[in-house]
């Protein structure tokens, strides 16, 4: 029997990048996966015999519908991966209140709504599994250490880090584990878009940007989506049965310095 057979997972922002990789990793371990996104993720879902639901994480109604989709299609919910998120860089004087709030709405309120509407459903079945139910929140190294020009992102990922611990303590008694993952710079469409902005503003070439990204990590390369997907799948599994409220840093040593 596969490690996660019988479990049902919901992965937000699952149409591409780390969400798509996490959905595949969970499915490979035997979970049934609901892929949710504002972008079309039907192809990803079909490839892993899962389901796709259109879902904006800032909408409370759509969260309720996404959890209901997991119940209707696969009978319940055991794992939530709060992955959907956005990133942009702006120097502090250029960051408007509106733009700052927009990032908090997606990266913070989206995770809050996910915790609020998914954990009760996860708790209903958590006693069935040795490791209980599991929530994995995508924070970032930017949830632990600061960096210039990302004030809104730093704020949002710091909030995800501590919301994780709050929910973990509130639901430990219900056997629902809640942990955060903190990636370094990972080669996804999000970082490809960020690289283009850096190149447009500095005039540097794409190879220089990639080299700069790589050398930020003592292990000498950018992260790959599978590096993060493996961490997510581990935290979701019974192998992590005694891990809750923790932060798993997957950054090639970046924050060890």
Ligand X SMILES: NC(=O)c1ccc[n+]([C@@H]2O[C@H](COP(=O)([O-])OP(=O)(O)OC[C@H]3O[C@@H](n4cnc5c(N)ncnc54)[C@H](O)[C@@H]3O)[C@@H](O)[C@H]2O)c1
Which residues belong to the active site? Answer: 153
177, 118 in Cβ contact below 8 A?
no
- CB of 129 vs ligand X, minimal distance in Å: 25
Instruction: Please give the angle made by the CA atoms of 84, 90 and 96, to the nearest 5 degrees.
Output: 90
**Nearest distance, CB of residue 20 and ligand X, angstroms:** 8
Contact with ligand X (CB under 6 A) among 4, 8, 18, 48 = 18
Residue 9 in the binding site for ligand X (CB under 6 A): no
Structure tokens at 83: 């992955």
**Whole-angstrom Cα distance, residue 27 to residue 167?**
25
CB atoms under 10 Å from CB of 134, counted, come to 29
Interactions with ligand X, residue window 22-81 (CB under 6 A): 37-39, 55-58
Instruction: Assess 158 for contact with ligand X (CB under 6 A).
Output: no
- The stretch among 73-81, 84-92, 196-204, 234-242 that binds ligand X (CB under 6 A) is 84-92
Asked if 184 and 223 touch (Cβ cutoff 8 Å), the reply is yes
Q: Can you tell me which of 15, 35, 108, 236 binds ligand X, judged by CB under 6 A?
A: 15
**In this complex, which beta carbon is closest to ligand X, that of residue 193 or of residue 238?**
193
Q: Which CB sits closer to ligand X, 57 or 176? A: 57
- Nearest residue (CB) to ligand X, 87 versus 234: 87
Residues ≥6 apart with Cβ < 8 Å to 208: none
Q: Which is nearer to ligand X, 131 or 223 (CB)?
A: 223
Out of 74, 83, 136, 227, the only residue in the binding site for ligand X (CB under 6 A) is 83
**86 binds ligand X per the rule CB under 6 A:** yes
Position 138 contacts ligand X (CB under 6 A)? yes
Nearest Cα neighbor of 89 from 216, 201, 210, 182 is 201
Taking the mean position of all CA atoms in its chain, how far away is CA 128?
25
Residues near ligand X (CB under 6 A): 12-13, 15-19, 37-39, 55-58, 83-87, 106, 110, 138, 140, 183, 185-186, 188-191
């Amino acid at each position: 029997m596969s490690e996660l057979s019988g479990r049902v997972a919901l992965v937000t922002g699952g149409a591409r990048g780390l969400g798509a990789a996490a959905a595949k990793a969970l499915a490979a371990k035997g979970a049934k996966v609901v892929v949710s996104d504002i972008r079309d993720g039907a192809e990803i879902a079909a490839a892993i015999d899962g389901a796709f639901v259109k879902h904006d994480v800032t909408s409370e109604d759509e969260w309720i519908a996404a959890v209901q989709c997991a119940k209707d299609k696969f009978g319940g919910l055991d794992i939530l991966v709060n992955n959907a998120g956005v990133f942009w860089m702006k120097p502090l004087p250029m960051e408007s209140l509106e733009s700052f709030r927009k990032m908090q709405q997606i990266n913070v309120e989206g995770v809050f709504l996910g915790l609020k509407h998914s954990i009760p459903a996860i708790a209903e079945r958590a006693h069935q599994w040795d490791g209980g139910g599991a929530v994995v929140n995508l924070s970032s190294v930017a949830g632990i250490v600061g960096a210039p020009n990302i004030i809104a992102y730093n704020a949002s990922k710091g909030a995800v880090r501590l919301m994780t611990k709050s929910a973990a303590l509130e639901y430990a008694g219900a056997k629902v584990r809640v942990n955060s993952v903190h990636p370094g710079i990972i080669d996804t469409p999000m970082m490809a878009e960020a690289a283009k902005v850096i190149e447009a503003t500095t005039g540097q070439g794409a190879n220089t940007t990639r080299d700069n990204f790589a050398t930020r990590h003592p292990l000498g390369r950018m992260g790959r989506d599978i590096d993060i997907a493996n961490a997510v799948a581990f935290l979701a599994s019974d192998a992590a049965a005694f891990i809750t409220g923790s932060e798993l840093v997957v950054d090639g040593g970046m924050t060890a310095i």
